[in-house]
């Protein structure tokens, strides 16, 4: 296990990586150091192909992440605030642009930047006790980690406006019904459920997973015709791979495939 000041990074079996926000004394809020740690972790996946899936969670059973550490930010000048926020923006981009699957295990409250972090993951499982909110307007600011863009794409424009404009928290049951999370788990079981999902993804062809994620993420922002062309481009990148050949061999030989990511 790799221990950083704010982040625990554990290499799990099957090339799964578990990243735990480790500041439970402040509800796993991220400060500048946490943001840099997350940047360092997720940016490395642009060139490091050994890992097949990342699970991100929070330490303890009360909070996934409560967003930016406001106790740290209270002493910042305007210039320091903007500079720090540029680091936060880089952190969110690193998670959003990660080429391998990223799953959130939401073990507790996901507020402000914590919810934005969940929304930048590919999907999420949550505890039935989890709570969600983008309440920045109650502090005189607004979501700055993509919340005004990602939440409407998930829950729809009018619901997102109600949640953000009214600074209205919502429950785990609402998060499931609205598509913010994919599954609810009993408290204490969400991490294991998420790791099982990660193991399933890690057993599949890693190059195919990367191309699927790329096609979905990029295609959603295009018209259907150009998105279909994007899909075929991604499809054709897999034709010459050994993983494609192994998958077809294994199917015909009635055995489990052994994908090597090449």
> Catalytic annotation on 116?
yes
How far, rounded to the nearest angstrom, does the alpha carbon of residue 144 sit from its chain's CA centroid?
16
Element (H, E) at 7: strand 7-12
* 92, 154, 236, 206: CA torsion to nearest 10: 60
End-to-end CA distance of the chain: 27
List b or e across 217-232, with b for residues whose CB sees 16 or more CB atoms inside 10 angstroms. Answer: eebeeeeeeeeeebbe
57's enclosing H/E stretch is strand 53-58
Q: Which of 5, 25, 43, 136 is catalytic?
A: 136
Cα separations (Å) of 112 from 9, 44, 109, 145, 171?
A: 23, 26, 10, 9, 14
- The C-alpha atoms of residue 150 and residue 179 are separated, in whole angstroms, by 12
**Of 2, 116, 173, 189, which residue is the catalytic one?**
116
Separation of alpha carbons 69 and 29, rounded Å: 5
Q: Is 231 a catalytic residue?
A: no
Token pair belonging to 95? 């998670």
Residues 6+ apart with CB under 8 A from 117: 56, 65, 92, 95, 104, 110, 145
Give the catalytic positions in this structure.
Answer: 116, 136
């Amino acid at each position: 296990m790799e221990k950083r000041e704010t982040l625990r990074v554990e290499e799990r079996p099957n090339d799964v990586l578990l990243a735990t926000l480790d500041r439970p004394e402040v509800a796993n809020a991220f400060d500048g150091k946490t943001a840099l740690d997350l940047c360092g972790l997720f940016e490395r996946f642009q060139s490091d192909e050994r890992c097949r899936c990342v699970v991100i969670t929070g330490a303890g059973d009360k909070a996934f992440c409560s967003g930016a550490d406001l106790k740290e930010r209270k002493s910042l000048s305007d210039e320091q605030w903007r500079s720090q926020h540029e680091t936060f923006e880089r952190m969110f981009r690193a998670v959003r642009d990660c080429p391998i699957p990223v799953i959130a295990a939401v073990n507790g409250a996901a507020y402000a930047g914590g919810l934005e972090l969940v929304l930048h993951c590919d999907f999420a499982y949550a505890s039935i006790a989890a709570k969600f909110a983008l309440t920045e307007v109650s502090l005189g600011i607004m979501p700055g980690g993509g919340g005004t863009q990602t939440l409407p794409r998930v829950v729809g424009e009018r619901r997102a406006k109600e949640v953000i404009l009214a600074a209205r928290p919502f429950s785990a049951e609402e998060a499931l019904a609205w598509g913010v999370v994919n599954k609810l788990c009993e408290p204490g079981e969400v991490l294991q459920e998420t790791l099982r999902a990660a193991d399933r993804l890690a057993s599949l062809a890693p190059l195919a997973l990367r191309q699927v994620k790329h096609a979905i993420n990029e295609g959603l922002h295009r018209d259907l015709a150009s998105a279909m062309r994007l899909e075929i481009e991604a499809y054709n990148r897999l034709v010459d791979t050994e993983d494609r050949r192994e998958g077809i061999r294994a199917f015909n030989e009635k055995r489990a495939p052994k994908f090597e990511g090449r």
